[in-house]
Amino acid sequence: MRRRMVFSTLLVTVITVMLLGLPLGALTYKLVYDDSIRRLEGEAELIGFESDAMIERDGDLDLAEFDQEYSDRHIRITGADGESMVTAGDPALDPRSVDSPDLLRAERTTELGTTVEVWASSESLQENVFRAWLGIASLSLLAFGVAVGLSVVQARRLTLPLIDLAATAERLGSGVTTPWNHRYGIPEADRVAEVLDRSAERIAGLIATERHFATDASHQLRTPLTALTMRLEEIIAEASDPDVVRAEGEAALAQAERLTETVESLLGRARKSQNPEVEQVQLDPILDRIQEEWSPVFQRQKRELLVTGDPGLTAMTVPTDLTQILATLVENAHKHGAGTVTIRRLDTGNSVRVEVSDEGEGVPEHLAGRLFEREVSGGGGTGLGLALARHIAESEGARVELVQTRPTTFALFLPAGAGGLSKMTGPV
């Protein structure tokens, strides 16, 4: 590309110089020629005046004076009668001479009728024309040099951004999504650079979204998979009792359906293709299901999971999301807490509060303000659960807070049911 730009610039320069230089050369020749003829005519007019003065004063011409003064000219003076003729100057410049060079000629007639003809060699004219043409050629060569230099600089200025942009595109293709933020002072190249930077940011966002989906899904699916595994173990252990097998099979099927709902919910949020649609939800069935799923896990550690508080409450939420949030809080209490874990539901008027607390040592003070940040954990955890729980809650107008550090108590604040009444007075 650089070579083509330099060649095209040089070609344009050559054409421009030829279009300007050739007429300028012809005009220069004409100007130098006209100037030489004017000077020669001036000499002829001066010789005529001197001739008339000599004739009036002495009655004759002093040719020796003309020979000395105009040694590089050939002069012919013809009297008014047209018959008397004298010559002076250099005989070699006589146009009648066989070996006479190219000559310039000027003629003037005085007031007394004397005709003066002057011839001069054209060598001086040719030298002046040559010097003028040499100056024009020098300027043309200088123009060529400047044009080539500027074209090289401009080609470099235009091609380097393209090389840089190609490298940026290659980086994007190889998975490096950090924007380069390079600008080149060329509007078109800067526009392409801005588009590539925005593309890098979008690609980085998509990669981060998919990565978060993978980590969030792996975190949120652990609990349903654990419960499903327990149900299958019960089926294997009680294979001889059809009633137990049926009950555990139904529970396992419910867990599988919950797995599907969890995956669809997380995938929808990750790709932002689904907006949560809140609805009026009864809390008791969801809390009972969580207690039923987690009780065997707690019983294995000789711990207990209790559900207390005001029964019959309703809130505006998404059932799947509410299940995920509460499961996260219960899992956090199971893993990092100790003793009995209590789920307490409270009617606060315009909102419903669901608290999850345990009897452990509490949250260290240096972690209390950072527990909801991703990858921040009190020890042994992934640091994803609480951050994801808060994100899910905020997406539907709820919030999750750490309301007490010792004992550890998390609270989920949900909008009250329709009409501002959180307690159901009848079937929904």
pLDDT, one tens digit per residue, over 232-248 is 666 666 666 676 667 66
Mean pLDDT of 181-186: 78
∠ CA 176-215-282, rounded to 5° = 140
Residues forming beta bridges with residue 118, ordered by sequence position: 75, 106
pLDDT at 41 over 80: yes
pLDDT in tens, 120-155: 888 888 888 899 889 888 888 888 888 888 888 877
Tell me the pLDDT band of 420, cut-offs 50, 70 and 90.
Answer: very low
pLDDT at position 98 over 70? no
Please give the angle made by the CA atoms of 298, 252 and 243, to the nearest 5 degrees: 95
pTM: 0.47
CA angle at residue 203 from 197 to 209, to 5 degrees? 140
Strands (E), 123-194: none
From 127-136, 164-173, 376-385, the region with the lowest mean pLDDT: 376-385
Q: CA-CA distance, 90 to 315, in Å (whole number)?
A: 127
Q: How far apart are CA 316 and CA 17, in angstroms?
A: 82
Residue 83 is classified by DSSP as: -
**Which helix or strand (DSSP H or E) is residue 406 part of?**
none
DSSP state of 105: E
Domains in the chain, CATH or no CATH each: 2-140 (3.30.450.250), 277-428 (3.30.565.10)
CA count, 13 A, side-chain hemisphere, 252: 15
Confidence of residue 231 (pLDDT cuts 50, 70, 90): low
Please return the burial class of 282, using the count of CB atoms within 10 Å of its CB with bins 0-12, 13-18 and 19+: middle
Given a cut of 80, is residue 426 above it in pLDDT?
no
Mean per-residue pLDDT of the chain: 79
Min mean pLDDT across 100-104, 115-119, 298-302, 334-338 is at 100-104
Q: How confident is the model at residue 214 (pLDDT cuts 50, 70, 90)?
A: low
Q: In the prediction, which pLDDT does 304 show?
A: 92
Tell me phi and psi for residue 337, to 5 degrees: -100, -165
User: Rounded distance, CA 75 to CA 85, Å?
Assistant: 10
Q: Rounded to an integer, what distance in angstroms lies between the CA atom of residue 206 and that of residue 199?
A: 10
pLDDT at res. 423: 55
Q: Quick one: 58 exposed, middle or buried, by C-beta within 10 A (0-12, 13-18, 19+)?
A: exposed
pLDDT at residue 226, rounded to an integer: 66
The beta strand positions in 297-370, using DSSP E, are: 305-309, 314-317, 341-347, 351-357
Instruction: Output 141 or 220, whichever has higher pLDDT.
Output: 141
pLDDT band at 90 (very low <50, low <70, confident <90, very high): confident
73 pLDDT exceeds 90? no
